[in-house]
């Protein structure tokens, strides 16, 4: 059955790949991100629609969801995908980067949930893209991991509150994306360059999301971890 799927952070990486995978599977995709030129090009290519979205603004997320409902008449799935990952040692005290991660990775997820829950008319499905960093902590990633642990906790709490709502956490391992572009600390940059030699294509995460949302209404795929075979 075709679903109306809203995707944040859809202009690149996992968001873009997910949009392509879901559109090919016959779903109606509504794309959101700050880079509207990329959104417009992608939407034209895959037959979707788009609207500007800044996940750090509650008003922007509400407008994004409202625009999707106006276009399609309903919302079936929200993929909370937008995220940033400026890794650094805690002792480097990059507090502005900590704030940015909290704004995008945690508040952005909450704003999406707040905007979409009242719009679900028949159950609905929230897919939150976390990370393998929601399961373990590595050097330079303390704050990033904290945000992703938070996403995982929020998802489980939301799942327990409702018997008519499906909630899925997707936790990618190292994956091709632009996340590493936000790193400003040399130590973390060199570590990530080595790490990304085994990166999965972003479409692998899109496939996992497609699987989760394609299950029967009574089946909730709570969590999927997807990582390269070589990743330890």
Given 144, 149, 187, 195, the catalytic residue: 144
Q: In whole angstroms, give the CA distance from residue 80 to residue 151.
A: 10
Pair 184, 97: CB distance under 8 Å: yes
Q: In whole angstroms, give the CA distance from residue 124 to residue 5.
A: 10
Q: What is the Cα Rg of the chain in Å?
A: 17
Angle at 88 between CA 85 and CA 90, to 5 degrees: 120
Q: In whole angstroms, give the CA distance from residue 71 to residue 64.
A: 11
Pair 17, 11: CB distance under 8 Å: no
Active site residue 144: yes
Residue linked to tokens 């508040």 = 107
* CA 11 to chain CA centroid, nearest Å: 12
Q: How far is CA 90 from CA 130, 138, 141, 188, in A?
A: 21, 12, 8, 12
Q: How many CA atoms lie within 13 A of 25 on its CB side?
A: 23
Q: Which residues are catalytic?
A: 144
């Amino acid at each position: 059955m075709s679903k109306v799927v809203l995707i944040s952070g859809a202009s690149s990486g996992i968001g873009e790949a997910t949009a392509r995978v879901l559109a090919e599977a016959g779903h109606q995709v509504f794309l959101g991100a700050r880079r509207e030129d990329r959104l417009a090009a992608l939407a034209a290519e895959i037959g979707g629609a788009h609207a500007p979205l800044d996940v750090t603004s509650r008003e922007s997320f509400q407008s994004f969801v409202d625009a999707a409902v106006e276009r399609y008449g309903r919302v079936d799935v929200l993929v909370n995908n937008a995220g940033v990952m400026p890794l650094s040692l805690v002792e480097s005290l990059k507090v502005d980067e900590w704030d940015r991660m909290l704004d995008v990775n945690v508040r952005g997820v909450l704003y999406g949930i707040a905007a979409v829950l009242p719009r679900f008319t028949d159950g609905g499905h929230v897919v939150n893209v976390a990370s393998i960093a929601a399961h373990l902590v590595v050097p330079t990633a303390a704050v990033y991991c904290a945000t992703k642990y938070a996403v995982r906790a929020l998802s489980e709490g939301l799942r327990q509150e409702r018997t008519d709502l499906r909630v899925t956490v997707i936790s990618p391992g190292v994956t091709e994306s632009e996340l590493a572009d936000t790193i400003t600390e040399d130590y973390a940059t060199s570590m990530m360059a080595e790490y990304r030699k085994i990166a999965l294509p972003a479409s692998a995460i899109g496939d996992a999301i497609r699987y989760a949302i394609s299950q029967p209404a009574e089946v909730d795929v709570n969590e999927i971890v997807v990582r390269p075979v070589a990743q330890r």
